[in-house]
C-alpha cells in the first residue's frame, strides 16, 4: 500500500489546472439577396393600383352626380309645369267674364241702368254739396237690392273727390 502513503497534493499544486477551453461559436448568418429591380416594380405596382382605385372612385362619383343632376332637372320641369298650370287657373278665375258671372249668379248684382251712371270731375276750388247728390241716387235705387251699398259707394266717391 504504497499508494496510501503517497501524497498527491504536491503534484497537483505544481501542475497548472487547465480550464476547459472556451468554444467559439460561429454564427452563421444568411444574407438575403435583394433584387432592387423587383423592389421598385412592387412599389410602382402599388402606386398604380392606388391611382386606378382613385380613378374608379372619381368616375363613380361623376356618374352619381350626373344622375342627381338629371333628377333635379326633372323636378324643376315638374315644378315649372305646375306653376304654369296655377297661373292658368288664376288667369281663368280672375277673368272679367268669370267675375261678372259670379257677381250676377251668386251675389245677385246686375248691370247699372242708364240713369245710374256716375260722371265726375275733380275741381279743387269748388266744394260739391255731398248731401244733394247721394239723395238722388238713394231715391233712384230705393226699391232695388244692393241700392244702399251702391248709394254709399257713390257718397264715398263724391267725398274723396
Per-residue pLDDT of the chain (161 residues; tens, 9 = 90+): 455 666 655 555 555 556 666 777 778 777 777 788 888 999 999 999 999 999 999 999 999 999 999 999 999 999 999 999 999 999 988 888 888 888 888 888 877 776 665 655 555 544 544 444 545 555 555 556 577 777 777 777 787 76
Q: What is the pTM of this model?
A: 0.40
Look at residue 103 and tell me if it is in a domain.
no
The closest of 105, 95, 114, 103 to 149, measured between CA atoms, is 103
Structural domain that includes position 143:
112-160
CA distance 52 to 50: 5
79 and 129 housed in the same domain = no
39 and 89 housed in the same domain = yes
Going by the DSSP 8-state scheme, the letter that residue 115 receives in this structure is G
Residue 130, pLDDT score: 47
Look at residue 12 and tell me if it is in a domain.
no
Look at residue 155 and tell me if it is in a domain.
yes
Look at residue 152 and tell me if it is in a domain.
yes
DSSP the chain: -TTTT---HHHHHHSPPPPPPPPPPPP---PPP--HHHHHHHHHHHHHHHHHHHHHHHHHHHHHHHHHHHHHHHHHHHHHHHHHHHHHHHHHHTSHHHHHHHHHHTS---PPPGGG-------SSSPP-TTHHHHHHHHHTTTSTTHHHHHHHHHHHHHH-
Residue 108, pLDDT score: 82
Look at residue 124 and tell me if it is in a domain.
yes
Residue 24, pLDDT score: 78
Look at residue 86 and tell me if it is in a domain.
yes
Domain total of the chain: 2
Amino acid at each position: 500500500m504504497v499508494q496510501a502513503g503517497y501524497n498527491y497534493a504536491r503534484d497537483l499544486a505544481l501542475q497548472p489546472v487547465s480550464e476547459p477551453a472556451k468554444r467559439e461559436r460561429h454564427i452563421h448568418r444568411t444574407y438575403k439577396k435583394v433584387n432592387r429591380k423587383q423592389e421598385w416594380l412592387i412599389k410602382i405596382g402599388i402606386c398604380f393600383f392606388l391611382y386606378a382605385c382613385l380613378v374608379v372612385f372619381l368616375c363613380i362619383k361623376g356618374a352619381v352626380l350626373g344622375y342627381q343632376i338629371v333628377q333635379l332637372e326633372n323636378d324643376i320641369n315638374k315644378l315649372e309645369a305646375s306653376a304654369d298650370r296655377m297661373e292658368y287657373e288664376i288667369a281663368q278665375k280672375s277673368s272679367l267674364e268669370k267675375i261678372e258671372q259670379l257677381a250676377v249668379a251668386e251675389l245677385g248684382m246686375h248691370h247699372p241702368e242708364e240713369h245710374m251712371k256716375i260722371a265726375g270731375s275733380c275741381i279743387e276750388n269748388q266744394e260739391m254739396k255731398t248731401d244733394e247728390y247721394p239723395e238722388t241716387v238713394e231715391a233712384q235705387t230705393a226699391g232695388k237690392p244692393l241700392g244702399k251699398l251702391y248709394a254709399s259707394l257713390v257718397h264715398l266717391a263724391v267725398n274723396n273727390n
